[in-house]
Structure formats: C-alpha cells, structure tokens
Amino acid sequence: EAGVAQSPRYKIIEKRQSVAFWCNPISGHATLYWYQQILGQGPKLLIQFQNNGVVDDSQLPKDRFSAERLKGVDSTLKIQPAKLEDSAVYLCASSLRTKTSGLRADTQYFGPGTRLTVL
C-alpha cells in the first residue's frame, strides 16, 4: 500500500513570496490533515478535511494560509505572503475516519513532510 505522498520535500523562499505544497493521501482515506511542525515542537493541526469539506480550520492563519481538497482526494496548502515565522515542516496525514466511524478509525498516517525555509 502506497503511503502519503508530499511534494516538494524542501523549499526555500524569501519573505513575502508565495509557496504551495501538495499532498496525495492514501487511497480511500476520507480524512486529510495538514500540520505545521516548528523545530523542537510537536505537530500543530492547521486544517482537517473530511472528503472535500472542512471539519476544523480554527488554527489556520486565514489571512495568509489557504487550503483546498478538490474532489476529496489530493490537497494543496498555500502560504501568501510568507513570513519568517512560517519556517517549519508541513506535514500531511490521512485517515479512514468518517462521520460515523468513530475514534478507532482515526489512525493517522503521515507523509514525509515539506521543509520550508523562509529567508
């Protein structure tokens, strides 16, 4: 079974530039998550999709971050304009979780992440 794919693996940009990350979840996984992991910290949830609908985006800085999941499969996360404090690893994860599956289906499988450096 193929895992969660992410690209690019590394990105270096200057502040105020824009950047986009792509994620392809495990086939059949209804729920997709984007996390931000700053060096030395645990992952922080940015946005959670179930199929192509947003479940939770309470910690997404909506003035500069946006995300979409077209057709309930692939997802992109965009930052525009980037700030120095956005330097982090952006992790995508997916799970089988649906509205009725409950917690036991919530095992999240993570991709390798995209390491973003903002200069």
Closest CA to 22 of 112, 119, 117, 118: 112
β-pairing, 65-68 vs 10-13, is unpaired
Shortest CB 43 distance to another protein, Å: 5
Type of residue numbered 2 = A
Question: Residue 15 phi/psi, 5° resolution?
Answer: -60, 150
Q: Draw the binding track, 22-61, toward another protein (x: CB under 8 A; -: no contact).
A: ---------x-x------xxxxxx--x------xx-----
- Distance, in Å, from the CA atom of 52 to the CA atom of 69, rounded to the nearest integer, reads 5
Restricting to residues 54-113, name those near another protein by CB under 8 A: 55-56, 91, 93, 95, 97, 103-104, 106-113
21 pairs with which residues across the strands? Answer: 77
Nearest residue (CB) to another protein, 22 versus 109: 109
Binding site for another protein (CB under 8 A): 4, 31, 33, 40-45, 48, 55-56, 91, 93, 95, 97, 103-104, 106-113, 115
